[in-house]
Amino acid sequence: MTTTLIQMAILISCGSLWRFLKPGGLQADETRHILTSVVYYLMLPAMILQVLWQAEIGIQSLKFSQLATVCIFFGLAVMWLCGIVLKINNFRLGALVLAAGFPNVTYLGLPVLEQVFGPWARSVAIQMDLFAGLPLLFTLGIIIARHFGEQSGESKQSIFSFLNTPPFWAAAMAVIFNLLQITEPLWLSGVLQRLASGVVPLMLFSLGLALSWQALSVRNFPYVVPVVVIKMFMMPLFALWLNHYIDIKGEAKTAALLETAMPSMVLGIVFCDRYRLDASLYAMTVTVTTVLSLITLPFWYRMMQ
């Protein structure tokens, strides 16, 4: 686990260095937008189609979804209560609630699971993201952002917009093919495998590009602490307790529980920008929790085994 995280940290660091060096005059945000667009619209759907077409879809899929859904609600609720007690203003609290509730299941979680457990574990990350994380982000997440932020004419977005995205089209097709027991053509399998092989390194490099060291601010550290406690410690502990009732077994249990210990989701910064929440605070939270996860993930891996 430690060796895996060191390798991933090097790839993430390459993305962070790009932000400072700007090779070819390319800005980090511009480069990240291009890379993530290629991954989101082409490579990730290919991986989803390949993985879910062959995955076991059944009761265990429902358990993955239950675990992720309840843990997200737990993180959101605890941070909301902390904000009320600490009297944090709405623009900050909205950003912190999103940061505490939604883990980085795909951009960090998927590479970690694949490297630690093997290719089969990709289906755990994908199912937890597509069957719980993203639907909640694009429904409840938007509702939270609207509640705490300011909605301009340009920021209007349907809470069901996640249904009109390539990853969900790929997931729907894969589930249908899987349930109908349609055999995957050999030529298509090769194409999907080659596209999917680029997802992990590009995700990690893009994550490094997204980390904003300029956003680190001493005045924001007191606001980041509750999110760190919730995401790095409380949520994984809650997931361990919750699994006594959901009862995911074997290596799938360790993989699913490890996903709940992931740092804050990078995508949340889009909602902060769109709904005028404290985007700088959110960026700092993502940076701090991602760096700390390189220490906490090996600990939780040993605990969850």
Residues 105-120 have a mean pLDDT of: 90
The model's confidence at residue 155, banded by pLDDT at 50, 70 and 90, is very low
User: CB within 8 A of 100, min separation 6: which ones?
Assistant: 75, 76, 78, 79, 226, 227, 230, 231, 264
User: So where are the chain's domains?
Assistant: 41-304
Has this prediction a pTM greater than 0.95? no
Mean pLDDT of 216-239: 93
CB 157 within 8 A of CB 275: no
Class of domain 41-304: mainly alpha
Q: Residue 12: its pLDDT value, please?
A: 87
Instruction: Encode pLDDT of 4-25 as tens digits.
Output: 788 888 988 998 899 888 898 8
Average pLDDT of the residues in 123-133: 92
In terms of Cβ atoms closer than 10 Å to its own Cβ (0-12, 13-18, 19+), residue 156 is exposed
Mean pLDDT of 84-107: 93
Q: How far is CA 4 from CA 1, 71, 111, 129, in A?
A: 5, 25, 9, 22
Residues 269/279, Cβ–Cβ less than 8 Å: yes
> 103 forms bridges with which residues in the sheet?
264
Nearest to 167 by CA among 264, 66, 68, 39: 39
For 278-298, b where at least 16 C-beta lie within 10 A, e where not — what string? Answer: bbbbbbbbbbbbbeebbebbb
